């Protein structure tokens, strides 16, 4: 490995994934550097959610390769060939990534605090008091310090998603993956979640965000990736992405969604 070339946090090369006859990803490349925020945009069915689910190894992939900090994800060399890793090794790799889901997926039978501290205590072996102290600090950061002993059902969607973000951050991941974090929220609850994500980005967290929020992508992301039909159509710095889109598809997408955003105002 060359010393003068910085290893990206995440590198995806030629990633392919099909569901039966249905091609979801047809050879996707993606590179995410340290502290970079990459927004992934595109019409529904373009494969953006599948991409982040594949990166977190929630879906088995068909081909290509993914690297986290230069280490191949999910596979290892064995004699002269590649073979899948053991479950335990895959779990080890997943622990270095955090994931925020569209449906929050908090554990309903636990308190908010236990949702956050379970992984640090049981998976990373932190001391319970230390994990709880950090859990409370994280809750304070997402503005929910008073909800530590509440159960997820008692919270609004926006509050649940902020807890889910705190849960994903608690294990100090190298990278945070967001799968449409605001898509199942009532419109008036979207901003509180986006604000938390913006704070994280400012604090230097490396993030990949699948989203429909163009305004958020424009103001927070360093780079924007436009996907359609399982392929990356454009991958550009955020400013150029919005001001001078190259492909007609992205132009059409931006026009359609921006006019809708204006209509919302």
Partner 1 sequence: MTTPIITPPRAAGRVDVADARRRFHPWRLVVGVLLAVIVLQLAIFFITNPRFEWPVVAEYLFNPSVLLGLLTSIMLTIVGMVFGSLLGTVLAAGQLTEFAPLRWASIVFVAVFRGVPPLVQLIFWYNLAYVLPRIAVGVPFGPELFAWPTNDIITPLTAAIIGLSLHEAAYMAEIIRAGILSVDQGQRDASKALGFSRWHSFSRVILPQAMRVIIPPTGSQVIALLKGTSLVSVIAMGDLLHSVQVIYNRTYEVVPMLLVAVIWYLVVVTLLTIVQRRVERHFSRGLSSTSLTRRTVQKLEVTQ
Beta bridge partner(s), residue 232:
227
Least distance (Å) between residue 108 CB and partner 1? 5
Alpha carbon distances (Å) from 214 to 50, 66, 121, 226, 254:
20, 27, 37, 11, 8
- Torsions phi, psi for 116 (to 5 deg): -80, -40
Whichever of 11 and 56 has its CB closer to partner 1, that residue is: 56
16, 69, 75, 105: residue in contact with partner 1 (rule CB under 8 A): 105
Residue 28 and residue 173: Cα distance in Å, rounded?
Answer: 23
Residue with tokens 């929050």: 104
Whichever of 49 and 211 has its CB closer to partner 1, that residue is: 49
Alpha carbon distances (Å) from 150 to 95, 109, 134, 168:
26, 11, 17, 18
Whichever of 168 and 228 has its CB closer to partner 1, that residue is: 168
Least distance (Å) between residue 124 CB and partner 1? 8
Beta bridge partner(s), residue 38:
208, 223
Q: Is 19 in the site for partner 1 (CB under 8 A)?
A: no
Alpha carbon distances (Å) from 180 to 63, 75, 135:
24, 27, 24
- Three-state DSSP class for residue 192: helix
CA pseudo-torsion sign 31, 37, 42, 46: positive
- The answer to whether the beta carbons of residues 213 and 194 sit under 8 Å apart is yes
Whichever of 87 and 188 has its CB closer to partner 1, that residue is: 87
56, 126, 192, 234: residue in contact with partner 1 (rule CB under 8 A): 56
72, 85, 119, 136: residue in contact with partner 1 (rule CB under 8 A): 119
Q: Is 238 in the site for partner 1 (CB under 8 A)?
A: no
Q: Is 87 in the site for partner 1 (CB under 8 A)?
A: yes
Stretch that binds partner 1, among 11-19, 73-81, 96-104, 193-201 (CB under 8 A): 96-104
106, 138, 155, 200: residue in contact with partner 1 (rule CB under 8 A): 106
Stretch that binds partner 1, among 12-20, 84-92, 214-222, 228-236 (CB under 8 A): 84-92
63, 70, 108, 237: residue in contact with partner 1 (rule CB under 8 A): 108
Whichever of 72 and 119 has its CB closer to partner 1, that residue is: 119
Alpha carbon distances (Å) from 247 to 18, 45, 115, 241, 252:
25, 19, 43, 10, 9
Least distance (Å) between residue 131 CB and partner 1? 13
Q: Which residues bind partner 1 (CB under 8 A)?
A: 53, 56-58, 87-88, 91-92, 94-95, 97-99, 101, 103, 105-110, 118-119, 122-123, 149-154, 167-168, 171
């Amino acid at each position: 490995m060359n010393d003068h070339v910085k290893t990206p946090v995440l590198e995806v090369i030629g990633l392919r994934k099909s569901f039966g006859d249905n091609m979801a990803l047809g050879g996707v490349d993606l590179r995410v550097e340290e502290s970079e925020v990459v927004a992934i945009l595109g019409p529904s069915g373009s494969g953006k959610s599948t991409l982040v689910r594949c990166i977190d190894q929630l879906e088995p992939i068909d081909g290509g390769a993914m690297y986290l900090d230069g280490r191949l994800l999910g596979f290892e060399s064995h004699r002269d060939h590649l073979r899948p890793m053991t479950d335990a090794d895959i779990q080890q790799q997943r622990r270095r990534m955090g994931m925020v889901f569209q449906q929050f997926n908090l554990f309903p039978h636990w308190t908010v605090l236990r949702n956050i501290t379970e992984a640090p205590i049981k998976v990373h072996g932190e001391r319970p008091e230390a994990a709880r102290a950090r859990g409370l600090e994280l809750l304070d950061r997402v503005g929910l310090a008073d909800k530590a002993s509440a159960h997820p059902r008692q919270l609004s969607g926006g509050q649940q998603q902020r807890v889910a973000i705190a849960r994903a951050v608690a294990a100090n991941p190298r990278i945070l993956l967001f799968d449409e974090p605001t898509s199942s929220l009532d419109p008036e609850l979207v901003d509180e979640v986006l604000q938390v994500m913006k704070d994280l980005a400012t604090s230097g967290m490396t993030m990949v965000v699948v989203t429909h929020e163009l305004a958020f992508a424009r103001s927070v992301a360093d780079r924007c990736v436009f996907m359609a039909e399982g392929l990356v159509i454009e991958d550009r710095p955020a400013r150029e992405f919005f001001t001078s889109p190259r492909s007609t598809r992205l132009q059409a997408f931006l026009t359609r969604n921006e006019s809708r955003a204006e209509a919302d105002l």
